[in-house]
Structure 1
Amino acid sequence: MTAPPSTLVPREQWLPLARAHEEAVDALTAGHRERRARGEKHPVEDFLFDYYRHRVGHLRRWHPGHGVVLGDAPEYEGRTGYVVQDGAAEVDLDEVLERRGASVERVRALLTATLGRPAHLGCFGMHEWAMVYRLAPGEQRHEQLPLRLGQAATDEVVERSTVRCSHFDAYRFFTEPARPLNALRPTREAQVAMEQPGCLHAGMDLYKWCFTLAPLVPSALTLDAFLLAREIRVLDMQASPYDVSAYGLDAVAVETPAGRAEYARRQRDFAVRSDALRRRLLEALPA
């Protein structure tokens, strides 16, 4: 492929950006790192590190994105995905695309398809409820969190609700009795055909697509995706069947009309913001 001309950024301009990014990540992850050192878990905030398996050190690593030449950047010598010539560093686009080109195209197809669909706002977060449906004591993933309504009442909510989960990576954690209750049958192969912008997990996954495609994607975009994913995760757990009051969070009681209205309102906002990030990520990908 023929790459567009690169933009040269002198060291006195790019180094403060890199330092600011590192400081921002340090501040945002301080609680997670301190808890990890003490062996403590946080079911809301730790999700972005435990589920996505992206280490803080990798998030902290600053990337300008492809098409940018960093002047006087010898520290990039030997970094995966970069080439350094005469002290100037830039993403080695040909080398990265040789390794990751298929991933770039899969993500591009997924983002484009998702942007082409309206947001579905009628799921009311039932995916988390379906993950604990009819579980026996000791079987739930978040044993440190009690069920807000108890097991029997939680099961009743699932049974009288419309479960319509389009996201495979949520659906695959449904309990066996819950799977037939889902109106859809998402699969990995059908993800491009089924992903829709109202899905909370699709919004959180934008963080995954950003860091997966590093160093092509600028760290400023990855950090914005991280921040949005963290906000979405809060609603995800507030609307879950778990009692998260011990973590300073109020429940969004989706078993009630008021709770469903609040969930849909916040879900709509996340859909708009997620679509904005999808557009930015598509623009950041090499043509």
Structure 2
Amino acid sequence: MHRTYRGRVLATAPTVLAEDEWVPVAEEHRRAVEALTAGHRERALAGEPHPVEDFLFTYYRFRPGQLARWHPGAGVVLLGAAARERLAWRGYARWAGPDGDVDGPGGVVVDAAGVAASQGRRLGHVRDVVAATRGRAPELGCFGLHEWAMVHGSAADPSVLRHERQPLRLGAAGTDAVVEEGARRGWLRCTHVDAFRFYPGSAVELSPLRPARDTQAALEQPGCLHAGMDLYRAAFLLVPLAPSSLVLDAFRLARDVRELDMRASPYDLSRYGREPVRVETSEGRAQYATEQRALAARGQALRDRLLPLLDAVVVPAR
């Protein structure tokens, strides 16, 4: 059962949390995020970038302060003076209370209908990709060669080096040889558009797949590291409808994905304490596939949590 307030649907029987119940949870979340992001924030002040740990904030544009701001998610009413401050935040509205009095003491709740109206069409593509990927088995035969393919031909064109301050473990010629062997053996099968778009022309020619935005839902698969990392984007696009516990779990997965992605890359990251996953060897490929499988399982569990939220806000195309 629902009531409407100024055209917006507000649930009348949600979970109601007193201020002394939800404020400690919000503080615990803030402290957890601050601990996870301390290194990034310190490096940002010092102007010292980190090729592994800073990526999520340079690529996804969701700031540490935004991640630290706790949201209960849909269907939870927050009571107290601290809750009323959220009326100035995007995506919150007054809750009318069980008696329907919007001018009474009430509380504050996520404005699910407002979020749907503002974000629904934008999230349609995200929902299609997440749902299609959830329905597929992971493919584990790429061995992270997308990062190698991105720097194919770097001896002739150094501009393809995305982390130019980090040396290549095998040098330019050795890196090219790994890419070319991978192409011959059918391992160079990147399914992710936002990895493939960084391929130089020489690597594009070696790739049997040409992922594009309009084929993303048809090609994306849960074994892809970048598909798992992008669940963080899907989660924070749903804020404040998505609870912060979900967003933080997606962030932690994305951090772990980035670690494997760069440890298996052609770059020498020993100065950052990262031991390589040597995918140029059979042992390294086996290690990569084992870690990839575990990350894929975590990604599928997150998709199970994301899909009901996406289904609730996506506005069908007309």
Contact 1:74 1:87 in 2 (8 A): no
What amino acid sits opposite 2:23 in the alignment? L
Identity of aligned residues (%): 55
Q: What amino acid is the match of 1:137? A: P
Q: How far has the Cα of 1:176 moved from its partner?
A: 1.2
- Contact persistence 1:210–1:225 (CA under 8 A): yes
Return the match for 1:23 from 11, 15, 31: 31
TM-score normalised by the chain length of structure 2: 0.87
Change (3 A) 1:103 1:138: closer
Q: Which residue of 2 aligns with 1:125?
A: 144
Give the stretch that moved more between structures: 258-267 or 104-113. Answer: 104-113
C-alpha change, 1:230 and 1:84, in structure 2 (3 Å) is same
How many Å separate the matches in 2 of 1:63 and 1:222? 10
3-state DSSP class of the match of 2:118? helix
SS in 1 for 2:259: helix
Match of 2:306 in 1: 281
**Residues paired across the two proteins, number:** 287
Pair 1:81 & 2:91 matched: yes
Match of 1:205 in 2: 230
Please state how far the C-alpha of 1:57 moved relative to its aligned partner.
1.0
**1:139 positional shift:** 4.2
Q: CA deviation at 1:49?
A: 0.3
Q: Normalised by the size of structure 1, how large is the TM-score?
A: 0.96
Partner of 2:288, secondary structure, is: helix
User: Which string of whole-angstrom CA distances, capped at 9 and with x for unpartnered residues, describes residues 190-247 of structure 1?
Assistant: 1111110000000001111101111110011000110111011010001000001111
State how far apart, in whole Å, the 2-side matches of 1:241 and 1:222 are.
30
Shift of 1:3: 6.5
Residue type of the alignment partner of 2:221: Q
Gaps of 5+ in 1: none
1:134 CA displacement? 0.1
2:62 matches 1:54: yes
Per-residue CA deviations over 1:92-143 (Å, capped at 9, x if unaligned) read 1121111111234333222211111110000000100011000223541101
Alignment check: 8 A CA contact 2:10 2:111 kept: no
Report the structure number with the largest CA radius of gyration.
2
Q: Which residues in structure 2 correspond to 1:1-287 (within 5 Å)?
A: 5-72=13-80, 73-85=83-95, 86=105, 88-135=107-154, 136-137=157-158, 139-161=160-182, 162-285=187-310, 287=312
Deviation at 1:6, TM superposition (A): 2.1
CA contact (8 A) 2:160 2:200 kept: no
Runs of 4+ with deviation above 3 angstroms: 1-5, 283-287
Q: 2:150 touches 2:160 (CA, 8 Å); kept in 1?
A: no
